[in-house]
Amino acid sequence: MRMYDPPHPGLVLAESFDENFTVADAALKMGVPEQNLTDIISGKAPITPEIALLLAGIFPGETPELWISMQAEYDAWQANHNRQWQMQVLKKHNLDPSFMDGFLAVQQGLQP
């Protein structure tokens, strides 16, 4: 069963940091700019497979699959339920909202 509006995995990642292990520390160990992790933690960027692999390297016991599945669950929920997100995608691709009519009909159990 899908979680209702799952958190962005960056919020989960944010809980891993404190004064003893900071975002800057993680970025240095991973070999990525600190801004990349900051963007993930703030929900502005996704956890990519590359970042998932690097996170697994600094957090023993956590696998790339864990991070990738959290991101996929978040993305799938946004695509299926977040109307504001859907409209942003349509605007980005210069598409009319009617483009979604078939999807919305299927979502409501109707024939497109």
Contact 6, 82 (CB under 8 A): no
Residue 108 has what pLDDT?
67
CATH classification at residue 52:
1.10.260.40
Kindly state whether residues 74 and 87 are assigned to the same domain.
no
Helix pair angle (64-81, 83-92), 10° resolution: 90
pLDDT truncated to tens, each residue of the chain (112 aa)? 456 889 999 999 999 999 999 999 999 999 999 999 999 999 999 999 999 999 999 998 999 999 999 999 999 999 888 888 888 888 999 988 888 877 766 666 665 5
**Domains contained in the chain, number:** 2
Helix pair angle (49-58, 23-30), 10° resolution: 110
Kindly state whether residues 67 and 97 are assigned to the same domain.
no
Residue 49 has what pLDDT?
98
Q: Take residue 51 and report the two structure tokens written for it.
A: 């970042």
Helices (H), 15-82: 23-30, 34-41, 49-58, 64-81
